[in-house]
Amino acid sequence: MRGRSTGSRAVARIVVAPVGEIPAGGRKLVEAEGKRIVVFNLGGEFYALSDRCPHQGGSLCAGLVSGHVESREPGVYHYARRGEMIRCPWHYWEFDIRTGKSWFDPKRVQVRQFPAQVTTGAALVEGPYVAETFPVKVEDDYVVVDA
Amino acid sequence: MFSRFRPIDCDLHPMVPGMRALTPYMDEFWRDQVEERGITTLDTQSWPVRSPKTIREDWRSEDGRGAATVGLLQAQSLDRLGTDLGILNPLYGVQLVFNEDMAAAFTRALNDWTRAEWLDRDPRLRASIVLPLQSIEASVAEIERLAPDPRFVQVLVLVMGEMPLGRRQYWPILEACVRHGLPLGIHAGSAYRHPQTSVGWTSYYLEEYAANQQAFQSTLASLLTEGAFSKFPDLRVVLLESGVTWLPSFLWRLQKTWKGVRFEVPWVDRLPTEIVRDQVRLTVQPLDAPEDGAIVQRVMDQLRSDALLLWASDWPHWQYDGDAAMPPGIPESLWPKLMRDNPLATYGRLREGVVA
Ligand code: FES
């Protein structure tokens, strides 16, 4: 389902899937408004990134999800944030799923991020959205991305 | 010639005329061993004495050798070029010896020869502590033995040794360097523990001399990836007779790949080029660039640092003719940095008692 906001913002509100369709640790690729967007579920929080790697365009959705390793000195590995980093399948650049920022140059090299949230079916049915690909049920929750 | 710059020459090579020159600096056992075994020389094929590159033709003595006395250094280099301070990097094949004890004895003799016959005879001279890298303990002991003499300003190893130099077994040496404010000088040359190229033994001197560049690349990669620079942020590494212009393209490849696989070496936690800019220096003889100043400038721009380069004449190696001891193409505006400021910034011990 996708809909267009009636407001002046040229932002499309995309209903990605019912919440239950993207399990924790899962991801889903959606195409809307000419954009490919990958939506991640990190322990119940949803994050949406452009699927296009800023390096040379690899599809992040096809990448490996891993954790973040840091070191305060050689030989010491501090491994944390399992499941929160996505590694592009082409040249393995790492991006923080929560921010879209690359690890090695977070200021200059970032994946475009889109706001993602969970909305009730009731709100969607009432709102200015029209179901296109699947029916929205009042009693369910949905992942919604503004793109 | 260059005296208005008060230049500091970072790579001078006194040449040991033969083992008999070193025996006075050995204990009786090793002195007799040298005679009894008939060990006459440790000249190595890294610098074949008769090769035109090893000694410039007009600097050779009657016997075809050269660079044997401080008088020759003064006449051929220091006085002619107006050198203010010069760093001696003795290249004699002590690194090739397999017996650890012999290696340590010969290396101590070499360092003591340098001190007595060179440092004591010209106040402009400083020197590197040659390390008997056959033994890490002996290397640290040699640093401890000589570090109290402030005229030793660096330690010296060959670029092709037993293992990649970044390996953590070597870190006690790096730690001693940092503790005493001594940069780690890495000079072209091989201890012949392995073929001089990663694809096998070379057939020709030409092949071997050019292969040093590969070794410098691998050594730099080893120091970086093992985390030596991260572990010892105060460590300075000086690449001697390494050439310079290979550095940007090599770093490009290393850094590009690091962006993808940096999780392997998480202690390399900033751009490798930045680490190199902070901790690595290179001498400019040879530079390995055409004489076109614009091309040299482009390389300098790629390196994005004019603090990286140190002037060196590489005496008595034949890198230039006449007195043209600065590689052509390096703009004169940079000479004060290369000849004075950068060496002073690199070698903490040079700064002591010296007017900047
Ligand atoms: S395209 Fe993604 S890392 Fe190169």
Q: How far is the CA of A110 from the centre of ligand 1 (A)?
A: 12
Per-residue confidence band for A129, with pLDDT thresholds at 50, 70 and 90: low
Q: Is the pLDDT of residue A9 over 90?
A: no
In the numeric block, which tokens belong to residue A8? 């002046």
Q: How many CA atoms within 13 Å lie on the side-chain side of A112?
A: 13
Q: What gap in Å lies between CA A40 and CA A145, rounded to an integer?
A: 11
Q: Is the pLDDT of residue A28 over 90?
A: yes
Contact B267 A71 (CB under 8 A): yes
Given this model, what pLDDT does residue A128 score? 54
Q: Is the pLDDT of residue A5 over 70?
A: no
Across the beta sheet with A116-120, the strand order is: A2-4, A12-18, A141-146, A116-120
Min Cα–Cα distance to chain B from A105, Å: 9
Q: Is the pLDDT of residue B186 over 80?
A: yes
Q: Is the pLDDT of residue B194 over 90?
A: yes
Given this model, what pLDDT does residue A6 score? 45
Per-residue confidence band for B353, with pLDDT thresholds at 50, 70 and 90: low
| Selection from B324, B353, B334 nearest residue B1 by Cα | B324
Identify whether B356 is part of a domain: no
For residues B76-104, average pLDDT:
97
Does the beta carbon of A58 sit less than 6 angstroms from any atom of ligand 1?
Answer: yes
Q: What is the pLDDT of residues B31-46, one digit of tens each?
A: 999 999 999 999 998 8
The total domain count for chain B is: 1
Q: What is the pLDDT of residues B296-330, one digit of tens each?
A: 888 888 887 889 999 999 999 999 999 999 998 89
Q: What gap in Å lies between CA B79 and CA B98, rounded to an integer?
A: 39
Given this model, what pLDDT does residue B120 score? 98
How high does pLDDT run on average in chain B? Answer: 95
Does the beta carbon of A9 sit less than 6 angstroms from any atom of ligand 1?
Answer: no
Identify whether B234 is part of a domain: yes
Q: What gap in Å lies between CA A131 and CA A1, rounded to an integer?
A: 4
- Inform me whether the C-beta atom of residue A44 falls under 8 Å from chain B C-beta atoms: no
DSSP B152-221: EEEEEEEEESSS-TTSGGGHHHHHHHHHHT--EEEEEEE-SSS-SBTTB--SSHHHHHHHHHHHHHHHHH
Q: Is the pLDDT of residue A132 over 60?
A: no
Does the beta carbon of A82 sit less than 6 angstroms from any atom of ligand 1?
Answer: no
Query: Chain B window 266-285: which residues touch A at a Cβ cutoff of 8 Å?
Result: 266-267, 269, 271
* Residue among B254, B263, B265 with most chain A CBs within 10 A, to mutate: B263
Given this model, what pLDDT does residue A84 score? 97
Given this model, what pLDDT does residue B355 score? 65
Given this model, what pLDDT does residue B293 score? 84
Owning domain of residue B312:
3-351
Q: What is the pLDDT of residues A84-106, one digit of tens each?
A: 999 999 999 999 999 999 988 89
Which residue did the predictor score with more confidence, B229 or A2?
A: B229
What backbone torsions phi and psi does residue B98 show, to the nearest 5 degrees?
-90, -35
Given this model, what pLDDT does residue B304 score? 77
Domains in chain A, start-ordered, CATH in brackets?
2-146 (2.102.10.10)
Lowest mean pLDDT among B72-81, B143-152, B224-233, B347-356: B347-356
- 0.85 surpassed by complex ipTM: no
Identify whether B20 is part of a domain: yes
Interior CA angle at B90 toward B107 and B280, to 5°? 105
Given this model, what pLDDT does residue B118 score? 98
CATH number at residue B159: 3.20.20.140
Q: Is the pLDDT of residue B188 over 80?
A: yes
Given this model, what pLDDT does residue A127 score? 62
Q: Is the pLDDT of residue A3 over 70?
A: no
Lowest mean pLDDT among A90-99, A128-137, B303-312, B345-354: A128-137
Does the beta carbon of A56 sit less than 6 angstroms from any atom of ligand 1?
Answer: yes
For residues B69-87, average pLDDT:
97
If one counts every other C-beta atom within 10 angstroms of the C-beta of residue B252, the result is: 13
Contact A74 B227 (CB under 8 A): yes
Per-residue confidence band for A1, with pLDDT thresholds at 50, 70 and 90: very low
Identify whether B62 is part of a domain: yes
Q: Is the pLDDT of residue B206 over 60?
A: yes
